[in-house]
Amino acid sequence: MSFDLILFGGTGDLAWRKLMPALFRAFRKGRLPADGRILAVARDEHGDESYRAWLQKRFDDGVSDRLPHQDAFTRFLALLQYRRMDLSQTDDYQQLHVWVDGRPGGAASTVVHYLATSPHLFPMVCQQLGASGLNGPRVRIVLEKPLGHDLASAQAINRAVQAVFSEQQALRIDHYLGKSAVQNLMALRFGNALFEPLWRRESIANIQITLAEDLGVGTRGDFYDRTGALRDMIQNHALQLLTMIAMEPPSSNNADAIRNEKLKVLHALRPFTAESVARDVVRGQYKAGTVDGAKVPGYLEEINVPADSRCETFVALRAEVLNWRWAGVPFYLRTGKRLAARDAQIVVNFRPVPHPIFPGSHTPNKLVIKLQPEDGLELHLLAAKGSGTTDALAPVFLDLDFDRAFPADRIGAYERLLLDAIAARLNLFVRSDEQEQAWRWVEPILAAWQADEAGPRPYGAGTWGPPAASALVARDGFVWGEEQ
């Protein structure tokens, strides 16, 4: 299958840190379809050769330790071309159309526009692509997050996209959905008979989703201060994970069948009010602290962060899914910067046995779905200690490491999503109605914070956030995973 991948924002951080390494890995492993061209588009002055040299230097300086195959990389560079474009100029799009139509050997079977630019440019780029005829049936467009700053801006972007591209052509990316462990969550639930009968309120006490980072905002202070943890992580990544945990079994592995069930979960989430935000949402902002023995600055001391910023770098919240499967089961979502560890995981805590007959059997079972830095599953059980008596039980766990189990088949998140975009596999992309409903759910939180003069709670760098986050869970008689 021939393809043209046009990468808008081809000199940006996302392009050289994530997208180009993912494309190279796919190329090196023979997964990238043959007869492909990759065109990087940006405002910088480059030709093909100077862009290739620029990218080579970025790899040498940043990621070459992970991509040591120089011969293969040299062949990969030969696929890359560069075009300087002013995204506001119609003539530049006309020239791009000439490049697409002038492909040696005839038109490509697939054209993918990947918008790795600032979201405020999305409407203009879509309008120009439509006016230039670069939106035909063989064309798809990939939209990077953040898709809007609130519901109104997200809807404005969607209107601009939908005026030019059909819903089937518009691929809204959430790279967490490309993680192998997330895809195995679907296989775990709907490909096995073991867990689905237990996947309900009668057996599950609570579910915890943690997306923790040990790094601060670094040089992204200006962007992050306009975004915050709720918009950056909860509205998209965390809610997508929640929908995949809570969704009903879809009728098929078809993209719309899956996304219909995810949308039902978003509609079933208990709406927030000003009162419930005060009770069920904790926001924090990291202060100076110690990480790995080194002192690190607080958020207000980071580069390009206003000294009086009220931006949240931590969010913990309690959610409920109001349906028969999940009524009464709390879902705890947590994310933050400068926390105690880099750790992304989902913990499904089962209810204890109804009548314990062994000492130690009060400890409930749990399933841990590890997203990063490891990729796998842990099932925590109880077993006899092996001391010749069955009177006492001790915790044991079954550990499935996907990287060890399937070493030749592992695909990184961006690699998976790029290959799916080229092949028109839509299962792992977010539909516009999902995205907008997620914004509807978080907007009351944003409104309540706007009216709250107290601001975010402080927490020390290198901790697990404000103490109020532990109190949020303890109120229901539970603790976070690291406290168990």
* Residues identified as active-site: 237
Please tell me the distance from the alpha carbon of residue 330 to that of residue 349, in angstroms, as a whole number.
11
Least Cα distance to 369 among 201, 208, 178 occurs for 208
Please tell me the distance from the alpha carbon of residue 413 to that of residue 380, in angstroms, as a whole number.
27
Please tell me the distance from the alpha carbon of residue 483 to that of residue 201, in angstroms, as a whole number.
23
Quick one: how far is CA 429 from the chain centroid? 11
Residue type, 398: L
Please tell me the distance from the alpha carbon of residue 459 to that of residue 45, in angstroms, as a whole number.
44
Burial of 45 (0-12, 13-18, 19+ CB in 10 A): exposed
3-state secondary structure 146-184: CCCCCHHHHHHHHHHHHCCCCCCCEEECCHHHHCHHHHH
Q: Which residues contact 220 (CB under 8 A, 6 or more apart)?
A: none
Coil, helix or strand at residue 347? strand
* Strands 343-350, 366-372: pairing kind: antiparallel
Looking from the CA of 351 toward its CB, the CA atoms found within 13 Å total 14
With contact defined as beta carbons under 8 Å apart, do 413 and 429 qualify?
no
| Phi, psi (rounded to 5 degrees) for 377 | -130, 140
Please tell me the distance from the alpha carbon of residue 229 to that of residue 285, in angstroms, as a whole number.
10
Please tell me the distance from the alpha carbon of residue 375 to that of residue 81, in angstroms, as a whole number.
34
Please tell me the distance from the alpha carbon of residue 312 to that of residue 316, in angstroms, as a whole number.
11
Q: Classify residue 144 by its DSSP letter.
A: P
Residue whose entry in the numeric block shows the structure tokens 């000439």? 98
